[in-house]
Structure 1
């Protein structure tokens, strides 16, 4: 606390009181003003406590809590799901939504047609002890069999064969996306996190940008990205362009974009570790405000307490403790813009996660890659 807010030794009832109890009215008014300023400083500290530990109450807590949208995945999917793991690990489905509604219309580069797709999909497996994670990207263009599913509003959607993976989200929202992933992997998704274009861009800007190095020029007018080879601190708009570009690098496929996304995520995790939010309560609150506005979660994470407690449990996982792969696929001979799962190799991945073991290198050997690996490094 500042010297301005330090209790005066002569104020009755405060530590160090030595004077008599009667004071002139003007003197007492000045002391009350000082105490008011001191309480303002304490309020910022309280904000930091709310965000850090998920504890506290009052306006700041309610504001952050009210920012979060959540979906009751468990109720929508019922009991016909894979069993929860009993080995201390957790699986989280993380989706990046390319909805064109609201503030996303300009960023998405399309029109508000009332639909949304999962532009990015990752299964994050947090190993027992929460000291490391395996991350599996699922290409949006993967041809899958989508199971019958019920959305969060109770609507039922019939099963479909030979459709793109990201059609699950556009058909039945978060619940259908989770159902499809569980059907493909036979893994229970313990949590769900979704972030949209607008939220992603604001989060990066709030962090002060993210530094990456490009080993070659990247130019893609469709994603508004133009980077020369070298080291850059990307703004939110540039970061969004990077994780969405597919024509500026590699073979122009979704697989190349996934490799850029994986490299960027490692750089982002590094940035979060380095930025001094935990020593600056206001910065910490601003970041929490942007983050809670940006995400949609499952109902178990749909409060500040739950979300921050969950995030706090992952803070020991640095970029060097994240093993990132792409679900084993090959290009579809019938359509070069689509990919097909390599079932035997994919089962090696899902089996490893189910048993809380490292993903073997053999699982991804000889599969389609996208030719963008190493173009961007943290």
Structure 2
């Protein structure tokens, strides 16, 4: 499928998480966007980006500091937020964004209207001691009650019941996305990191590719991917194909795609320590330059020094110490293209993170999942 023909992703009118076997009666499923699939992995890559660039960012402060874009979340949201608990843990909202212009347009299609959408989000909870983390993915098409919020320009946006989760970012940008997540979870976000879609391919190429193993053949003409079962070193283009694939493996759902993306980020984190960028100054600078151009942060991480310090606190977390789950959801009986929060099970997740405890297995047992677990892994 040529890029120009791809549909617009992330709008409330799009088809959502489910594959054909979950379609609601009488509803015709619209074509899935290809662009939002890569956004999820650019978001997943955010933690890896700051870890990879951490040391280099400190060395190249003056050259790289001007690359970072920031949003003053605290100013926009004011004091009407969950309690800021100081127990040594951190909660970070990581978002993938598509600005619909420039290189994003070339990679993902769409119109050059300068608008922005977010099609993936994850809450990264770093436990006290910064040796392990839990990561909770929020499906973009989850129906939620979006709260009233004020964006970073000072404009107020009305609340909306039964809205798609990703409409929060479309409506009011980063501040409204944070407000919505805090309203859903009761957890104050300590930081915000947004990763631009167009930087993903460059980052993977500058890392020298990412090594993965596939247990099945993956072939999807829509995402231009054709991988035989076995070991692979993915280029940036191939990595985009992997995270875009929907028909190539699993049940054709966004939830299944999340499973592939979670496996990919673990492979990426595994590879971080073996890259050797510290012995190659040019490679180090190129990586740090791309990373700082790719991320938008909250104002507390708006300098290279602050971002490097934050990254240093994450370097001890290996992939084996990352528990990755999807927010507990079930398919909406009224619309098979949407999902609903399993509120009782979701509460188990949020309560665990508030208490800096592991997420109990009961929280995700029996919830809607994809069918792609175990297809992709590290070699």
Q: Give the TM bin, normalised by the shorter chain.
A: 0.7 to 0.9
Tell me which residue corresponds to 1:121. 121
Structure 1 residue 51, shift from structure 2 partner: 5.5
1:214 and 2:202 correspond:
no
State the 4+ residue runs in structure 1 displaced beyond 6 angstroms. none
Match runs of 1:16-95 below 5 Å: 52=55, 55=58, 60-95=60-95
Give the secondary structure class of the aligned counterpart of 1:187. Answer: coil
Give the secondary structure class of the aligned counterpart of 2:352. Answer: helix
Does the 8 A contact of 1:145 with 1:159 survive in 2? Answer: yes
Q: How large is the RMSD of aligned CA atoms in angstroms?
A: 1.5
Q: 1:233 to 1:55 in 2, by over 3 A?
A: closer
* TM-score, with structure 1 as normaliser: 0.83
* TM-score, with structure 2 as normaliser: 0.83
In structure 2, the gaps of 5 or more residues are 1-52
Give the secondary structure class of the aligned counterpart of 2:205. Answer: helix
1:101-141 alpha-carbon deviations (Å, 9 max, x no partner): 11100212322344322222110000000000000000111
1:267-301 alpha-carbon deviations (Å, 9 max, x no partner): 11011111101232332222111110111111111
1:264 and 2:267 correspond:
no
Tell me which residue corresponds to 1:362. 362
1:297-337 alpha-carbon deviations (Å, 9 max, x no partner): 11111111011111111101010110000000011112222
Count of residues paired in the alignment: 326
Give the secondary structure class of the aligned counterpart of 2:317. Answer: coil
Match runs of 1:195-234 below 5 Å: 195-234=195-234
Q: 1:141 to 1:214 in 2, by over 3 A?
A: same
Q: Distance in 1 between matches of 2:145 and 2:136?
A: 19
1:157 and 2:157 correspond:
yes
Q: Distance in 2 between matches of 1:252 and 1:237?
A: 21
Q: 1:165 to 1:342 in 2, by over 3 A?
A: same
> Rg bigger for which structure?
1
1:189-212 alpha-carbon deviations (Å, 9 max, x no partner): 100111122111111111001011
Structure 1 residue 245, shift from structure 2 partner: 2.7
Q: Distance in 1 between matches of 2:368 and 2:87?
A: 32
